[in-house]
């Protein structure tokens, strides 16, 4: 199931439960940040009174120009609405976002201070079919940009090679009743004037979670697809060569469930994709890298604890991934890991005193790393942003 669609369903469920109570820009070269840095939680006063809020995506233009997107429930009985927050170098502030009846933003990418995109899904009501949601920042305001009208569409990832070459990925419900899952992977492209669907070879029962555009002739999209003759879920990777999208075999293991959540690339063409794999009820963080010839499994060994990577960024020659990991006491803690391409090390990261702490996305500016997600006590959630400096 699409991350945007499942995210919207989760927030709608939380809204219903509370009603009776009183989310990539093109690869940029940054020098590796020092390993002596510290991750710290940032304050977001705008969200203090929200019943529920969550960040799914984050992107950075500069150290003083950062965007985070997600969804928010403003109060008891309210519907989930798209959430956009901006860091101006001194504070995080909520920015007005155009909204549908109920909506969520999952992916965000910024080319400059006057050009940013956010994608997700929305519906006229909690019971209505979802539709893809695309919003654009022009330096002054966010506005909804019309995309292809597709039944049950949801967009999860966005990446821009240039102002006239932007990709968005997700899934759409095509009504194919013979598939284990009704969705089929969806790829859309902005050419500077309009959005249109680009054909892709993914089968029924597939969705794409993320995309990275390296150039106009080189882009990667990742996600998952149902196995043709079993109940297994296997990783899905597609590549754009400037003319067509094609499926590229991955290093997916024989586990029952395999999912790629995020993808990042160096300008040199080195590509990393992360997610999770599960042979039983416990998930393990999954990482694969493209060496120019094929995908290789480069997953960390995090012991017996359940874990999942949900965001990834390349900074210099280093790879940073974020997500969540189970603690011995049963709670879920934030997971931040760094790799030099040969091995992984886990970085100390703070948590909010709650049952669940989860980081969904990571971004880099010249002087900082930024990670966004949420913390939840089981009945309410609070959007979470961390900074590495």
Strand order in the sheet with 102-112: 102-112, 115-123, 131-137, 142-144
CB 233 within 8 A of CB 256: yes
Take residue 311 and report the two structure tokens written for it: 């965001």
Span 182-204, pLDDT tens digits: 789 999 999 999 999 999 999 98
Q: Which CATH number fits domain 3-388: 2.60.40.1930, 1.10.8.50, 2.120.10.80, 2.60.40.10?
A: 2.120.10.80
Classify burial at 178, counting beta carbons within 10 Å of its beta carbon; exposed 0-12, middle 13-18, buried 19 or more: exposed
Token pair 């945007």: residue: 4
Q: Is the pLDDT of residue 328 over 50?
A: yes
CB 6 within 8 A of CB 101: no
Instruction: Kindly give the pairing relationship between strand 356-364 and strand 369-376.
Output: antiparallel
CA–CA dist 261, 276 (Å, integer): 8
pTM (two decimals): 0.91
pLDDT (0 to 100) of residue 179? 47
Q: Is the pLDDT of residue 14 over 60?
A: no
Identify the sign of the CA torsion 161, 164, 168, 172. negative
Span 111-161, pLDDT tens digits: 999 999 999 999 987 778 889 999 999 999 999 999 998 989 999 999 999
Q: Is the pLDDT of residue 16 over 70?
A: no
DSSP state string for 84-140: EEEE-SS-EEE------SEEEEEEEEEEETTEEEEEEEEESSTTSPPEEEEEEE-SS
pLDDT band of 256, cuts 50, 70, 90: confident
Share of the chain above pLDDT 90, in %: 64
């Amino acid at each position: 199931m699409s991350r945007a669609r499942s995210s919207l369903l989760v927030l709608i469920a939380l809204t219903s439960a509370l009603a009776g109570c009183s989310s990539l820009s093109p690869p940029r070269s940054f020098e590796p940040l020092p390993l002596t840095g510290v991750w710290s939680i940032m304050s977001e006063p705008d969200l203090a009174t929200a019943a529920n809020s969550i960040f799914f995506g984050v992107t950075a233009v500069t150290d003083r120009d950062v965007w985070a997107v997600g969804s928010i429930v403003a109060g008891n009985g309210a519907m989930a609405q798209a959430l956009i927050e901006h860091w101006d170098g001194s504070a995080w502030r909520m920015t007005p976002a155009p909204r549908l009846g109920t909506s969520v933003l999952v992916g965000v990418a910024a080319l400059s201070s006057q050009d940013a995109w956010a994608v997700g899904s929305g519906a006229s009501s909690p019971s209505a079919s979802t539709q893809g949601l695309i919003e654009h920042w022009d330096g002054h305001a966010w506005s909804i940009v019309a995309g292809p009208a597709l039944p049950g569409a949801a967009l999860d990832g966005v990446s821009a090679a240039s102002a006239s070459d932007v990709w968005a990925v997700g899934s759409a419900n095509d009504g194919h009743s013979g598939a284990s899952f009704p969705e089929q992977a969806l790829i859309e492209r902005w050419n500077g004037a309009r959005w249109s669907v680009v054909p892709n070879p993914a089968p029924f029962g597939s969705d794409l979670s993320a995309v990275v555009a390296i150039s106009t002739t080189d882009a990667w999209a990742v996600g998952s697809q149902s196995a043709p003759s079993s109940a297994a879920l296997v990783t899905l990777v597609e590549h754009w060569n400037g003319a067509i999208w094609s499926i590229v075999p991955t290093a997916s293991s024989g586990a029952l469930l395999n999912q790629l959540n995020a993808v990042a690339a160096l300008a040199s063409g080195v590509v990393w994709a992360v997610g999770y794999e599960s042979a039983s009820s416990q998930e393990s963080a999954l990482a694969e890298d493209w060496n120019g010839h094929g995908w290789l499994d480069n997953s960390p060994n995090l012991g017996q604890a359940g874990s999942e990577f949900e965001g990834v960024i390349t900074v210099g020659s280093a790879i940073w991934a974020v997500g969540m990991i189970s603690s011995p006491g049963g709670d879920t803690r934030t997971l931040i890991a760094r790799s030099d391409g040969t091995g992984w090390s886990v970085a100390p990261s703070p948590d909010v005193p709650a049952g669940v702490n989860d980081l969904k996305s990571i971004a880099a500016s010249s002087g900082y790393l930024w990670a966004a997600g949420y913390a939840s006590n089981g009945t309410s959630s609070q959007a979470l942003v961390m900074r590495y400096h």
